[in-house]
Amino acid sequence: MGRQISKPDTGLTLPAFLQKTEKYPAFISNARGKILTCNNFFKNICGITGSRVVYTKDIFTGDYLHKFKDGCRLLSSKPSAIFGSAIDDRTICWEVSCVEEGTTNILCVGSINYTRPATNIVLEENHFSAYMNNSPALMWATDMQGRLVVTNKKFKEVTGFTDGDLGRTLWEVYPKELADLYKKNDDAVIERNELVEMEESSVDKFGRKREFLVYKFPLQTADYGLVVAGWSVDITEHKTANKKLLHQNNRFRQIARLQSHAVRRPLANILGLIDLIQYYAEQGNFAEVASMISLLKDSGNDLDVIIKKIVQKAGVFRPELQISL
């Protein structure tokens, strides 16, 4: 008959990365050696079932129990300690550390067959979590069924998702058209088996449409198998600014065309008429001067219309710029 363990009588839980792992046995015990909570892998290798209370002395016997206690005593002067034990035919390297500074609850994590030093497991995971959660980019991973398995702090801030959404499918957390698109892109990443850059639309926690520059790549993990990992940055404002710049550039091109072609014709007419007016005035032919002045006014009005168009294209209209002849 297997050992039994009670449900946790405190609010303590294992770190998320240890709860589902099938690689590292882990448990939390109090100062009296009572095991408060553990992961399923630990239960499986130790034969723990049901709800009866289990103590560390039920798991570690003889010299192994002394090594466990010695490791716990070292925590008064060290952040962690390691010791070895054997359970059935498994050789396990254990790391013990305090759950929180100043508490007597012990976190114990094992590494089977010494394939990886247990002393690095929690440290490396903490480093990885710190990197993930301090990144300004959104970071996540989905498994082959389209379930969210990992999200970072920035991802949660933008989307409004919580740890409770882990394990849910894309179709459960996004509109169908977006979920279909994301899964299609994920499948393409797996097929290509390389890093892929793309743009994807999404919605934030306020329901606003956002545009993202996305990088996705296949990643083999110990806990979730093959996943598609991704990170992205919000480029909504960048794309909006680019559209405004393109629109403004188009207006400037139209202004340049008006300046180089449309303005030249009435301006050339005005300059020619001024020369004729000067010539006829010197000849005393004032009838022709009057005729030239009438034509000069027409050319001035033409120039006025063109200047107004230029001002309007530039997005500014000032009445004081109007020409009156």
* pLDDT digits 0-9 by tens, 150-163: 899 999 999 999 98
Angle, CA of 141, 143 and 147, to the nearest 5°: 85
- The answer on 245 and 201 residing in a single domain is no
DSSP codes joined into one string, 72-110: HHGGGTSSEEEEEEEETTEEEEEEEEESSTT---EEEEE
- The answer on 301 and 249 residing in a single domain is yes
Range of the domain at 15: 3-121
In-domain check, residue 108 = yes
- The answer on 255 and 220 residing in a single domain is no
Task: Say which CATH number the domain at 10 has.
Answer: 3.30.450.20
Burial bucket for residue 38 (CB in 10 Å: 0-12, 13-18, 19+): buried
Tokens read off for 202: 């999404």
pTM (two decimals): 0.48
CA-CA distance, 155 to 17, in Å (whole number)?
Answer: 18
In-domain check, residue 17 = yes
- The answer on 205 and 109 residing in a single domain is no
Q: What is the pLDDT of residues 224-241, one digit of tens each?
A: 788 999 999 999 888 877
In-domain check, residue 126 = no
Which of these three, 121, 154, 179, is where a domain ends?
121
- Residue 159's pLDDT is 92
Tokens read off for 181: 């698109």
- Stretch 186-211: mean pLDDT: 93
- The answer on 141 and 114 residing in a single domain is no
In-domain check, residue 71 = yes
- The answer on 274 and 218 residing in a single domain is no
Give the phi and the psi of residue 148 in degrees, each rounded to 5.
-70, 125
- The answer on 278 and 171 residing in a single domain is no
- Stretch 216-221: mean pLDDT: 88
Which of these three, 70, 92, 121, is where a domain ends?
121
CA-CA distance, 36 to 27, in Å (whole number)?
Answer: 7
Would you say 51 and 70 are in contact if contact means Cβ atoms under 8 Å apart? no
- The answer on 146 and 110 residing in a single domain is no
Q: Would strands 209-221 and 26-29 be described as parallel, antiparallel, or unpaired?
A: unpaired
Would you say 111 and 86 are in contact if contact means Cβ atoms under 8 Å apart? no
In-domain check, residue 15 = yes
- The answer on 94 and 47 residing in a single domain is yes
The SS3 assignment for 136 reads coil
Would you say 185 and 215 are in contact if contact means Cβ atoms under 8 Å apart? no
Domain count of the fold of the chain = 3
Would you say 96 and 81 are in contact if contact means Cβ atoms under 8 Å apart? yes
Lowest mean pLDDT, pick from 38-42, 253-257, 264-268, 269-273? 253-257
In-domain check, residue 128 = no
- Stretch 175-191: mean pLDDT: 95
Which of these three, 234, 260, 294, is where a domain ends?
234
- The answer on 73 and 29 residing in a single domain is yes
Angle, CA of 33, 35 and 39, to the nearest 5°: 145
CA-CA distance, 92 to 230, in Å (whole number)?
Answer: 34
Give the phi and the psi of residue 106 in degrees, each rounded to 5.
-110, 130
- The answer on 315 and 222 residing in a single domain is no
- The answer on 100 and 19 residing in a single domain is yes
In-domain check, residue 31 = yes
CB atoms within 10 A of CB 35: 24
Q: Which of 51, 47, 57, 94 is nearest to 75 (CA)?
A: 94
